[in-house]
Structure 1
Amino acid sequence: MDVISAADLDDPLGEARAATLDMLSRHPRGLSLPQPFYNDDRLFRLDMQGIFEREWVFVGMSCEVPAKGNFMTLTIGDNPLVIVRGDGGILHAFHNVCRHRGSRLCATERGKVAKLVCPYHQWTYELDGRLLFAGSDMGQDFDLKAHGLKSVALTEAGGFLFVCLAEQPPSCDELKASFAHYLAPYDMENLKVAVSSTIEESANWKLVIENNRECYHCNGAHPELLNSLQEFDDTDDPRATPAYRELVARKQADWEAMNVPWQLTRLGKRNRLTRTPLLDGTVSMTMDGKPACQKLMGRLTSADMGSLRILHLPNSWNHFMGDHAVVFRVLPLGPQRTVVTTKWLVHKDAVEGVDYHPEQMRRVWDATNEQDRRLAEENQRGINSLAYEPGPYSMTYEFGVIDFIDWYRETLAASLGASPSLRLAQG
């Protein structure tokens, strides 16, 4: 019978950690990753430990928990979490784990409660996590104060909610300031989720993000999306045409006059925020390019706002238009399983069936999400083959993917205790 040593318990992934660092250090820049990064269970666990348990992860919108007692839940890896609004409008994030015997407290995706009560033995917690009741059977010496819920770092940035599971989260000051600046015109607290969807993709989470970071595939895969979306990422896109640059200059002048932020901002490779036009003559990501909601968001006075594109690594991309917004959340479930949640946001006073029709609003991205799911799953099936080897990214069409892979390599290596030497591909 094998004996598990203390060292094994301390670092059960020790060999995988060393092998991963070696692969990261030797892998040339500009190539897709070696096969284990997309399908190996041990490397997936390193991704969860080194990325999703250390970085600021997008979880939802503050408008989803609008009043005292409103809560939402999600799971990051093996960690169920609950986010609840308490007294004074303060948001709290906790491990969704009772301090008695570990049962989940909240089993539904969202709801409203007066207190957080464990369904197993009715231990009762205040909305700020303090244990209020554990029954008389715990004994006279039982200390309620020592058994409050375990907090999770939570920050709100321009209406976006992020959590970090690390004991010492990285600084998020730039993140908060940038999101607040770009999203101020949308009056984020006065939005609501009009409709949402959740799909599971049989693909590694990195393939889902890689697919999003390029439009090399758009012409062949996304006819609905290209009714409104420009293929160019911005004027720094090396493929941008003179006609597109002229359109950008014209629209930027309009947005400047409206005092609406549009400038390209990067926070390293983790965040990218920019407003860029949709196809000339279209104002929204709908089948006909017309507004999906007749009530504009926030203080906006025009539907023709292009798309405010917001990237947050490791798990979100977003489009904010004049009439509605589409936000995306990616969460890994396993080495080859990823869940993608899409939410469509509108002004909180917009009336369904009058100002907007959910089926019309979601048609473009429902189609696009399904197309992307098939692409990612076929990508995964090919990568699992004995024939797979890392292939070259296009410096012109796939520079966004290269940026993501650079960020991933640097971030994972740093969490494992070293930084890879990023080299340009030779020859």
Structure 2
Amino acid sequence: MDTTVLSLGDPLAPARKATAEMLRERNTSFSLPQPFYNDERLFQIDMQEIFHKEWLIAGMTCEIPSKGNYLTLQIGDNPVIVVRGAEGKVHAFHNVCRHRGSRLCVSEKGKVAKLVCPYHQWTYELDGRLLFAGSEMGADFNLADYSLKPVNVKTAGGYIFISLAKEPPAIDEFLRTLDHYMEPYDMENTKVAVKTTLMEKANWKLVLENNRECYHCSGSHPELLNTLLEWDDTNDPRASQEFKDHVADSAAKWEAEKIPYLHAGFGLRNRIVRMPLLKGTVSMTMDGKQGCKKLMGRIQNPDLGSMRILHLPHSWNHCMGDHMIVFTVWPISAQETMVTTKWLVRKDAVEGEDYDVARLREVWDATNDQDRRLAEENQRGINSTAYQPGPYSKTYEFGVINFIDWYSERMLNNLGEESAHVREASVG
């Protein structure tokens, strides 16, 4: 922890204690107490203990295809840059100049030979080393003392994962599995066909809770249900025999093409599973037909259903034969969240010839906006003095229960670690 913060005391200490108590005492089959959804102090704790410590999806490797390509993102108050360096290596740094703290890269993405601060032209190599600071700094100035501050970064299956933590949680087993499941897609030869950003006036956890159940789907998502079957697994207690037979028939075809599909789980944080779409449909488009004429990677059969990838705290994904969709959730404040959606296709697919962006977007543009309205109305109700935690359905909302259980466990774990650090620092 920053020694300056320690010397001033932790203004969130009482809120941290109250947060831990509420989590320990909560009814695990009910929604969270009101402060978890609308209190700004608790939001700051969410950022410090979840979004600053867990692994997050920063983007896709295809977005920085060659040396010097970079992308930037904002995690709370922390600007981050991810850049492709020499020999294809991906680096991540705090997007903060070591001189007086200005942001180095101000664009969302771009390509550079070196990282140059626009304020005083301090210049860094793509691996973060300071190369130039000017003679004004004096003869005894040591460039080696002022490299960019690194951010943990790992890549797997075409995804870029970053963590601001000094010691992030273990993730390698999931990443190895992700590499295996994404192999058919040849992710280095994909591209982002289109990206959208949606601002929702709701707490980030409400956005995730809404995503983790389909209890609301039949009343809210007609476009999505043209193709989506809501069950994630044949073990779902609501799954019909017809659905189980459909899964078995589809799995036999995937097996023949050596397409990974079996359910792979890693605690409550990560899950990968391929499920068929509605019979007669092959892609999440309005008519269920291919959204892109060219199938991805080595895929030959367009009827691959949707491989669903969950990564808590902030991402879900749908991977079909012709395109894939990556969703990420970024908290802005206690009651505001940014949701990004990226549609990926083969790198050599031609817009207007192989795919139409409007058609590709149509289903999820509608669904995202419907979910936005649901989350915002949820937030408005929770803000009421009448709100109290309500019961989850153990059959229809088990995914929400799993998310809240994961959140509670990680929050308590990270708060405990933080308390220990504070005690050690204060004793020292």
TM-score range, shorter chain: over 0.9
1:236 CA displacement: 1.9
For the Cα contact (< 8 Å) 1:157–1:175, is it kept in 2? no
Say if 1:101 and 1:294 are closer, same or farther in 2 by CA, change over 3 A: same
For the Cα contact (< 8 Å) 2:58–2:160, is it kept in 1? yes
1:343 CA displacement: 0.2
TM-score norm. by structure 1 comes to 0.96
Which letter maps to 1:270? Answer: R
1:10 CA displacement: 3.9
TM alignment of 1:187-336, pairs within 5 A: 187-336=186-335
Deviations 1:132-170 (A, max 9, x none): 111110111111111111000000021111101011112
The reply on whether 1:49 has 2:41 as its aligned counterpart is no
The reply on whether 1:140 has 2:108 as its aligned counterpart is no
For the Cα contact (< 8 Å) 1:63–1:188, is it kept in 2? yes
The equivalent of 1:20 in structure 2 is: 19
Q: Secondary structure at the match of 1:401?
A: helix
Q: Distance in 1 between matches of 2:297 and 2:359?
A: 21
Instruction: Specify every segment of 5 or more residues in structure 1 that has no aligned partner in the other structure, as ranges.
Output: 420-427
The size of the alignment, in residue pairs, is 415
Q: Distance in 2 between matches of 1:8 and 1:206?
A: 32
Q: Distance in 1 between matches of 2:175 and 2:345?
A: 22
The equivalent of 1:61 in structure 2 is: 60
TM alignment of 1:386-405, pairs within 5 A: 386-405=385-404
Q: Secondary structure at the match of 1:28?
A: coil
Deviations 1:288-340 (A, max 9, x none): 00000000001100110000000000010000000000000111011011100
TM alignment of 1:134-173, pairs within 5 A: 134-173=133-172
Which letter maps to 1:372? Answer: D
Q: Secondary structure at the match of 1:364?
A: helix
TM-score norm. by structure 2 comes to 0.95
Q: Distance in 2 between matches of 1:9 and 1:280?
A: 62
The equivalent of 2:377 in structure 1 is: 378
For the Cα contact (< 8 Å) 2:232–2:273, is it kept in 1? no
1:259 CA displacement: 0.6
Instruction: Specify every segment of 5 or more residues in structure 2 that has no aligned partner in the other structure, as ranges.
Output: 419-428
Sequence identity percentage: 64
The equivalent of 1:352 in structure 2 is: 351
TM alignment of 1:25-36, pairs within 5 A: 25-36=24-35
Q: Distance in 1 between matches of 2:253 and 2:228?
A: 19
Q: Distance in 1 between matches of 2:152 and 2:403?
A: 25
RMSD: 1.2
Deviations 1:21-54 (A, max 9, x none): 1101110111000000001111111111111111
1:202 CA displacement: 0.5
Q: Distance in 2 between matches of 1:59 and 1:219?
A: 32
Which letter maps to 1:33? Answer: L
1:11 CA displacement: 2.1
Q: Distance in 2 between matches of 1:236 and 1:246?
A: 13
Q: Distance in 1 between matches of 2:215 and 2:360?
A: 25
The equivalent of 1:423 in structure 2 is: none
Q: Secondary structure at the match of 1:417?
A: helix
Which portions of structure 1, spanning 4 or more consecutive aligned residues, are displaced by more than 3 angstroms? 5-8
The equivalent of 2:76 in structure 1 is: 77
The equivalent of 2:109 in structure 1 is: 110
